[in-house]
Chain A
């Protein structure tokens, strides 16, 4: 029944490792997003895909690589993790015609030690 799901919910790893976060939505939406929420709760968009095409790519280090195998999935792979990557990462989806009405997943708390 979960509209937007993410796995894992918690991720603890060491500096230098590579990790992935998966996101799936069952709402039939065409557009999916990745946001980063820092320790001060500030939310910033990282990427957006519409019909599997990358449409937003903010100034994110190229260690971060999104992949959308189909419209229902958007994964985030992070290479060579750094301490500053510690944050909560949210996946979201939208219909593409709501102007910004997005449905968010529960978040993945990434801790880099």
Chain B
């Protein structure tokens, strides 16, 4: 079984400050890990993904995440927050591609709401 824990349901930062959103996962198979972002009243958009290649993954809008197997973590960071980064962020894990015997079923964390203060 797979699961995701996001530490901190709310994170507040000042504009220009470092953003750090924490995610820990549990998986019985090599995990595929994702960060999705949801802006108010919208669907989810993929920020970045880890699929067993480089452990440091760069995504859109200046975000990046580092896969640490020893810590079972996949924390999301951005060096300098922008007002437009205010949104709900979801970490998710899957068991891999359908073409490789997985189901691509995404198991989500409970989300972290990021507030950016001027």
Contact = CB atoms under 8 A, between A and B. Distances in A.
Chain B binds chain A:
yes
Interface of A: 4, 30-31, 40-45, 48, 50, 55-56, 90, 92, 94, 96-107
Contacts of A102: 44, 46, 104, 106
22 contacts: A4-B43, A40-B110, A42-B108, A42-B111, A43-B106, A45-B105, A45-B106, A48-B103, A94-B104, A97-B97, A98-B49, A99-B32, A99-B104, A100-B32, A100-B49, A100-B93, A100-B105, A101-B46, A102-B44, A102-B46, A102-B104, A107-B42
B99 A100 contact: no
Given A42-B108, A100-B104, A102-B44, 12 more contacts: A31-B98, A41-B38, A42-B111, A43-B111, A56-B105, A96-B99, A97-B99, A99-B97, A101-B46, A102-B46, A102-B106, A105-B43
B71 to A, nearest CB: 21
Interface residues of B, number: 31
B111 A31 contact: no
Interface string B87-117: 0101011101111101111111011000000
B51 interface: yes
Contacts of B25: none
Contacts of B74: none
Contacts of A96: 97-99, 104
Contacts of A30: 98
A103 B104 CA distance: 12
Given A40-B110, A41-B88, A90 B104 contact: no
A31 B108 contact: no
A99 B98 CA distance: 7
Contacts of B44: 43, 90, 92, 102, 104
A31 B99 CA distance: 11
